[in-house]
Amino acid sequence: MAGEAQDKNWPLPKFYFMVDWGATTNIPFQEVSGLDIESEPIEYRHGNSPVFSKISMPGMIKNSKVTMKKGVFAKDNAFWDWFVKLKMNTIERQNVVIKLLDEGGNPTMTWTLLNAWPSKISSTDLKSDGSEVAVESIEIAHEGLTIANA
Q: What is the pLDDT of residue 31?
A: 95
- Pick from 104, 77, 81: which is nearest to 92 by CA? 81
Does residue 132 surpass a pLDDT of 70? yes
Does residue 138 surpass a pLDDT of 80? yes
Residue 78: DSSP 8-state = H
Q: What is the pLDDT of residue 147?
A: 94
pTM for the whole thing? 0.82
Domain positions in the chain: 17-149
Q: Coil, strand, or helix at residue 28?
A: coil
Q: What is the pLDDT of residue 56?
A: 93
CATH number (2.40.50.100, 2.30.110.20, 2.60.120.10, 3.30.565.10) of 17-149 reads 2.30.110.20
Q: What is the pLDDT of residue 116?
A: 94
Q: How many Å apart are CA 32 and CA 21, to the nearest integer?
A: 14
Which H or E element spans position 117? Answer: strand 107-122
Q: How many Å apart are CA 55 and CA 141, to the nearest integer?
A: 31
